[in-house]
């Protein structure tokens, strides 16, 4: 019987996790090649008018009257366009802004930033990496004890996946983010 070196086994497991994306309670890696942006015709048929305007035309949904502002279920929020995981409910906080607010993305690499000079202001726009969806803006007025950032995100740019549905919808690799709610 041939016995594998423990270091080789560890290396192979790490390589596999890097290839498919992996999660632990403190570190997440999302594989961008696992997600794809549909073409514009398909997006127009898949998205509501508001979702299309927000994600593709940089619109902003009304504050306070949106799906996830006061949403408190445990799970993840994914890009409505590609399904790429963007935010965790563990990083969501109650903000008086009227939009869902998070202290950080699920993986720093899943978002990109642009300077937004619209409406007579200079703001930092947040877009999804794979879908190039307009998500919202990030501000430096979030909870100081959690890093001070507030990712102010349009609900119309997101789809929520509950903890119970992670495995069924292909996001089971993110279950370790929720150690107090999962069992071994």
Residues lower than pLDDT 70 in the chain: 1-26, 181-184
Cβ contact 105:151 at 8 Å: yes
Domain total in the chain: 1
Beta bridge partners, 111, equal 128
Q: What is the pLDDT of residues 84-125, one digit of tens each?
A: 999 999 999 999 999 999 999 999 999 999 999 998 999 999
Residue 182 domain flag = no
From 23, 86, 126, 152, the catalytic residue: 152
| Model pLDDT, residue 15 | 36
Q: Does the residue 1 lie in any domain?
A: no
The residue segments making up the domain with residue 129 are 6-177
Task: Provide φ and ψ at 32, rounded to 5°.
Answer: -65, -25
Q: How many helices (H) and strands (E) does the chain have?
A: 3, 11
CATH code for the domain of 42: 2.170.150.20
Which tokens hold the place of 148?
Answer: 């001070």
Look at phi and psi of residue 47 and say left if phi exceeds 0, alpha if psi is from -120 to 50, else beta: beta
* Residue 60, in any domain of the structure: yes
> In angstroms, what CA-CA distances link 112 with 68, 107, 129?
22, 11, 6
Q: pTM for the full model?
A: 0.84
For residue 157, being part of any structural domain is answered with: yes
CB–CB of 17/46 below 8 Å?
no
In degrees to the nearest 10, what's the CA dihedral of 146, 150, 155, 158? -60
- Let me know if residue 184 belongs to a domain: no
- Looking at residue 26, its pLDDT comes to 60
Assess if residue 183 is contained within a domain. no
Active site residue 48: no
Contact 151, 100 (CB under 8 A): no
pLDDT at res. 181? 59
SS (H, E, C) 34-64: HCCCCCHHHHHHHCCHHHHHHHHHCCCCCCC
């Amino acid at each position: 019987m041939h016995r594998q070196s423990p270091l080789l086994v560890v290396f192979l497991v790490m390589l596999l996790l890097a290839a498919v994306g992996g999660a632990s309670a403190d570190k997440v890696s999302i594989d961008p090649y696992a997600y794809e942006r549909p073409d514009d015709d398909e997006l127009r048929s898949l998205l509501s008018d508001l979702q299309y305007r927000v994600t593709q035309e940089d619109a902003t949904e009304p504050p306070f009257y949106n799906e996830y502002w006061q949403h408190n279920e445990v799970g993840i929020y994914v890009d409505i366009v590609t399904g790429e995981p963007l935010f965790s409910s563990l990083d969501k906080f109650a903000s008086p802004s009227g939009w869902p607010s998070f202290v950080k993305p699920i993986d720093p690499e899943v978002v990109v930033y642009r300077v937004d000079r619209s409406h007579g202001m200079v703001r930092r726009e947040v877009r999804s990496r794979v879908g190039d969806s307009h998500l919202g803006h990030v501000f430096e007025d979030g909870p100081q004890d959690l890093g001070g950032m507030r990712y102010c995100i349009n609900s119309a740019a997101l789809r929520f996946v509950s903890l119970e549905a992670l495995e069924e919808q292909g996001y089971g690799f993110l279950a370790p983010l929720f150690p107090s709610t999962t069992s071994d």
